[in-house]
Structure 1
Amino acid sequence: MRKLLLLLCFIILFGCAPDSKELDQRSTILGLAIDKGEEKLFSISIQLPILTESGGEGSSSPQGGNFETFTTEADSVWEGLSKLEAMTPSVLFFGHLKAILISESVAKTHLKKIFDSLEREAAIGNQIFLLIVEDQAGEFMKKESPLVSLPSLYLDRFFQADQKLSRTSDVKLFEYRRDSNMISETASLPIAKLSNEQILIEGMAIIKDDKLVSKLDPREVGFSELLKKNKLDFMNYDVVLENDVKVTYSRIRLKQVVDYKQTNPVQISLEISGTGEIVEVNDVDQRVDASFVKEADEAVGKKMEENLQDIIVKMQEINAEPWLFGHRIWALSPKYYETLDWESGGWSNAKVDISVDFRTSNTGEKGAMNKTKIGR
């Protein structure tokens, strides 16, 4: 027994020895960007941190501005990475890869080829964030934020943050492939761009059959998340009432219950309920009493129903369904699903009924409607 334990400890301690390398013998890739090439199919860029002494004995870390970006052109991702490795004195290491950025022009034509290459390499983890960049992905990756020293780490920090407003949503490599393999073969990826030299991440790209076919603007992203995940947290919203009184809500939380009737075309029912807090009324003299709140609640519910219907029609027109309604029907009623011809016209012809029950949970005023004065 003792010999067996010693053998087990020996395997644990030395099992990785053949693959072990010192940090200075690796070129640690933090970001990978893929653009359309001028002479070749792709322009491949990698971002490498330059490690400097941070004061501790034998310790080193990436400092602000200390990164380098290398770029080459190739007809495949791995051909490009092989060329890039020849530009560095050490072995390319993917263990700390944070994000893969793909330009919009490439996303419209060559996503399948890119992801086929990435999925075959075991060194690239499934937890990597994916983004679509509206212009040049390589140039976007070079942009350094004053808030986070390395561009790729900025993306990682952005998506790891809790309680972000629902203007975009993080998607990892395994999540993209999972959604792409569902019945509708439709997934979504966050959109990034440079706006006035500032990094801006908002909106979502709709990907069908590994091709970019449409986009959702920041306001539509929150509702798309609700349709897919059956819940939504932290959304801002506004509505205009009579006499041009504008009411702004924050901390909106919604829940959704999905049902369907086995008709042809299918009739999908979405029952949505939720709450939100009033954070601003543009007319400061407007009395926010019970009748005003009731009017605002009804207006918000009606406007949300219209917004949701618009998004659904938008996706039906291009026959893209990223919310897994078809997969739900296929899983729960497989025989019925076969009668719908979902991919050809089942989704495009589907009837969707939406009802929203919205309630104001807080008016944001110091004097709440249910306040009881002291001494009375």
Structure 2
Amino acid sequence: MKNRWVLLMFIFLMIGCAPDSRELDHRSVIMGVAVDEGENERFSVSIQLPILTEGGEGGLSPQAREFEIFTTEANTLWDALADLEAITPSVLFFGHLKAVLVSEQLAKEDLPLILDLFGRESTVGNQVFLIVVEGSAKEFIVKESPLVNLPSLYLERYFRAEQKLSRSRGVMLFEYRRDSNMISGAATLPLAKLKDEQIAIEGMAVFKDHQLVEKFKPTEVGFSELLKNNQIDFMNYTVTMDEENEEFISLSRINLKQDVEIKRTKPVHFSIRIQGNGEILSANDLNRKVDTSLIQKVEEEVSKQFTEQLEDLIKKMQLANAEPWLLGHRIWANHPEYFSQLKWNEKGWQEATFDIKVDFEVDNTGQRGFINKQKLGR
């Protein structure tokens, strides 16, 4: 009897592979998808396919030219995929899809249609990166980098790299769906563009109800992450000490944590307390001595500028009536009746008041342990 059960389990396992049993060379493995407005039809869809040849042991390996782009136009995205499958020799396969790029013009209105397309395709994983391209998404996905020839693979490596000194962040399909389904209906996606023929990823696009309503500058991305996640690590910042004399101090390894207190008044009041530390990396005046006096001035100026930047960012989002930091969701989760009284999405967010206090200290300089050094000898 036991042997019979083992045999049945083995048969079930083998049958489970049957619906998806094609070999790699019988598939058109899509690594990236770019969606633009069409010239003659509503949509222009481009797919990026790696070019594979027979490897040394009967396997498959990339050629010198690592990818090919196929493009078609149609009035619906599903018709575009059908047309693309007609001009490729095998079945389109989205199981290895790395990134979906959407042109900014199309993202303003038609992002829900693109999300619906990939939501209905069962082979698409949730860990696909979504990117908004300022300009043509096709031109971006065609561009090769000297470092990584496959553009979609370049994007995946960029966003998965840890502790990058970047001014954007990767957002996966499941993250965007999660955030946009929260009570405020707002989410962010990274912005990309071609700058001097080079791939540049910086800034974030802000969506409200799947419509592009505002953008974060590269210098605002870190503060946005802080407001959403209550902390941020390895942030970089350049503080202006004397604008007239062009004196700047660069700081690195900035770690910030915030504590948010919600006061149930009308309108709602948020009291935000932020504590953090960082290191002085360099001064543009090489003759300027980084002593205790300068450090104290830097700490005061950084605290002041961080407060102003956060206040400006919040006002910017209030004008757009978009709140991508889940502040409203915290109220809704803990005090649903109070949240209903605020009418958050109509006017509650725009009327909210804030009190922000930042306490920042420099815990090191570019010269390790400089502050604590003692003179030795004569």
| Structure-2-length-normalised TM-score | 0.96
1:178 aligns with 2:165: no
Between the aligned partners of 1:77 and 1:365, the Cα distance in structure 2 is 56
Other-structure match for 2:283: 281
Other-structure match for 2:112: 112
Conserved in 1, the CA contact under 8 Å of 2:203 and 2:218? Answer: yes
Pairwise CA RMSD of aligned residues?
1.4
Other-structure match for 1:38: 39
Other-structure match for 2:297: 295
Q: Within 5 A, what are the aligned runs for 1:251-262?
A: 251-262=253-264
Conserved in 2, the CA contact under 8 Å of 1:206 and 1:214? Answer: yes
Between the aligned partners of 2:63 and 2:161, the Cα distance in structure 1 is 21
Between the aligned partners of 2:64 and 2:202, the Cα distance in structure 1 is 25
Other-structure match for 2:92: 92
Aligned length: 375
Conserved in 2, the CA contact under 8 Å of 1:98 and 1:152? Answer: yes
* 1:249 counterpart SS class: strand
Other-structure match for 2:328: 326
For residues 317-370 of structure 1, the C-alpha deviation after alignment (integer angstroms, 9 at most, x for no partner) is 010000000001000111111110101110001001111111101111256111
Amino acid at match of 1:67: F
1:227 aligns with 2:227: yes
Other-structure match for 2:270: 268
Between the aligned partners of 2:318 and 2:62, the Cα distance in structure 1 is 47
Between the aligned partners of 1:166 and 1:230, the Cα distance in structure 2 is 19
Between the aligned partners of 1:187 and 1:156, the Cα distance in structure 2 is 20
Other-structure match for 1:247: 249
Between the aligned partners of 2:369 and 2:313, the Cα distance in structure 1 is 38
Other-structure match for 2:26: 25
Q: Within 5 A, what are the aligned runs for 1:132-151?
A: 132-151=132-151
Q: CA deviation at 1:81?
A: 0.5
Between the aligned partners of 1:291 and 1:63, the Cα distance in structure 2 is 60
Conserved in 2, the CA contact under 8 Å of 1:127 and 1:173? Answer: yes
Identity percentage over the alignment? Answer: 57
* 2:342 counterpart SS class: coil
Cα distance change on mapping 1:233 and 1:327 into 2, 3 Å: same
For residues 221-259 of structure 1, the C-alpha deviation after alignment (integer angstroms, 9 at most, x for no partner) is 111111111111122111122565321101111111111
Q: CA deviation at 1:148?
A: 0.6
For residues 71-93 of structure 1, the C-alpha deviation after alignment (integer angstroms, 9 at most, x for no partner) is 11112221110110000110001
Between the aligned partners of 2:51 and 2:25, the Cα distance in structure 1 is 10
Between the aligned partners of 2:82 and 2:107, the Cα distance in structure 1 is 22
| Structure-1-length-normalised TM-score | 0.96
Return the match for 1:335 from 326, 337, 340. Answer: 337
Other-structure match for 2:48: 47
Between the aligned partners of 1:299 and 1:53, the Cα distance in structure 2 is 61
Conserved in 2, the CA contact under 8 Å of 1:189 and 1:205? Answer: yes
For residues 81-132 of structure 1, the C-alpha deviation after alignment (integer angstroms, 9 at most, x for no partner) is 0110000110001110000000000001111122122212211111100000
Other-structure match for 2:131: 131
Conserved in 2, the CA contact under 8 Å of 1:52 and 1:61? Answer: yes
Conserved in 2, the CA contact under 8 Å of 1:326 and 1:347? Answer: yes
Amino acid at match of 2:128: I
* 2:299 counterpart SS class: helix
Conserved in 2, the CA contact under 8 Å of 1:190 and 1:201? Answer: yes
Q: CA deviation at 1:13?
A: 3.0
Deviates more, 1:8-17 or 1:353-362: 8-17
Between the aligned partners of 2:231 and 2:368, the Cα distance in structure 1 is 29
Deviates more, 1:7-16 or 1:289-298: 7-16
Listed as ranges, the gaps of 5+ residues in structure 1 are none
* 1:130 counterpart SS class: strand
For residues 156-189 of structure 1, the C-alpha deviation after alignment (integer angstroms, 9 at most, x for no partner) is 1111111112400110111101111111100000
Between the aligned partners of 1:21 and 1:302, the Cα distance in structure 2 is 60
Deviates more, 1:239-248 or 1:214-223: 239-248
Q: CA deviation at 1:213?
A: 0.8
Cα distance change on mapping 1:264 and 1:8 into 2, 3 Å: same
Q: CA deviation at 1:372?
A: 2.4
Conserved in 2, the CA contact under 8 Å of 1:226 and 1:256? Answer: yes
Between the aligned partners of 1:38 and 1:78, the Cα distance in structure 2 is 18
Between the aligned partners of 2:221 and 2:19, the Cα distance in structure 1 is 47
Conserved in 1, the CA contact under 8 Å of 2:364 and 2:371? Answer: no
Between the aligned partners of 1:35 and 1:101, the Cα distance in structure 2 is 9
Amino acid at match of 1:305: T
For residues 31-86 of structure 1, the C-alpha deviation after alignment (integer angstroms, 9 at most, x for no partner) is 011000122111011011110245x3112222453311011111222111011000
Conserved in 2, the CA contact under 8 Å of 1:166 and 1:221? Answer: no
Between the aligned partners of 2:182 and 2:14, the Cα distance in structure 1 is 41
Deviates more, 1:262-271 or 1:237-246: 237-246
Listed as ranges, the gaps of 5+ residues in structure 2 are none
Cα distance change on mapping 1:84 and 1:333 into 2, 3 Å: same
* 2:58 counterpart SS class: coil
Cα distance change on mapping 1:294 and 1:63 into 2, 3 Å: farther
Amino acid at match of 1:28: V
Q: CA deviation at 1:375?
A: 5.7
